[in-house]
Structure formats: structure tokens, C-alpha cells
Structure 1
């Protein structure tokens, strides 16, 4: 999903924090973005944008990414 243009400043900052946590968990699990994308049934560019905090993912997508990495969702949020 595209990022809404009228978000308060703290929202993009928090989105970037979540992206950093996703990337760290993925690297800790020794997984590529491609592997996570395939397992989570999302395209790789979406994983890239989510990790960069440029995409506002749906909750269901975050759940699938957490499962693909093998961590609880709360660890990413």
C-alpha cells in the first residue's frame, strides 16, 4: 500500500523503525529478501520498501513476514 501523504512526522519514523527490525531479524535468520518474499507470498520490491519504511504494509503482510522469518510478530513491532 502506498504511504499516505498526510501522516504526522512520527508515523514515517516508526515505520522506518519497524523496517529496521524486520531487516535485522531477516539477517539474523540468514535469509535473503527474496526468500522472505517467496515464503510470505509478497513480491521482493515490497519487502525492500517495507524494510526501508517506504511502504505501509497491511497487518496480514506483517504476520506473513514474521512467520517467514520465524519470529513472533511482536519482535518486529
Structure 2
């Protein structure tokens, strides 16, 4: 099965924007990456990769993160 093409610049820019929103929300909540990961049932490295824009976030993980932060999902993906 052929691999998917790399994401284009528009997709990468949105991925970075989501990471920036996540980082800002996490810091506003006074949480470390480690604590957010615990609350969301994820590992710290996954949170870091999403914040850095190195990984595309799964919808399920975004729901877990938003719930752990106590914010609407739309705040992360705006």
C-alpha cells in the first residue's frame, strides 16, 4: 500500500496553530504537559508532539484533551 503524501503547508500551518492553542490553554490552566497527559489518559510525549505540530492529533485525543482542560473542543481548533 503506498504511503500518504506529506501534508501541504496549509495543513502544517493549521497543525501548528492547534499546537499553539493547546499550549496556551494548558498554561492558562496551570498544567504541565505531564499533568495534562495524566488527566487526558495520554502520554506526555504525545502532548508534546501535538503542541510542537509534529504529530497530527486524533479526534478522540483532542476530545480527551479538551475535557481534561475543561474547555470546549472548538477552543483548540479555532
1:55 paired with 2:55, answer yes
1:54-73 equivalences in 2 (<5 Å): 54-73=54-73
Structure 1 distance, partners of 2:31, 2:6, is: 34
> Relative to structure 1, is the Cα distance of residues 45 and 61 closer, same or farther in structure 2, using a 3 angstrom cutoff?
same
Deviation at 1:70, TM superposition (A): 1.1
SS in 2 for 1:18: helix
TM-score, normalising length: structure 1: 0.91
Aligned residues: 74
**1:16-55 correspondence to structure 2 within 5 Å:** 16-55=16-55
Aligned partners of 1:8, 1:50: CA distance in 2, in Å? 17
- Gaps of at least 5 residues in structure 2 are none
Q: Give the distance between the partners of 1:12 and 1:37, measured in 2 at CA.
A: 23
Change (3 A) 1:5 1:43: farther
The runs of at least 4 aligned residues of structure 1 exceeding 4 Å deviation read: none
Larger Rg: 2
TM-score (norm 2): 0.90
**Could you list the per-position Cα deviations for residues 2-29 of structure 1 after superposition, in whole angstroms to 9, with x for gaps in the alignment?**
xx65211110110000000000000001
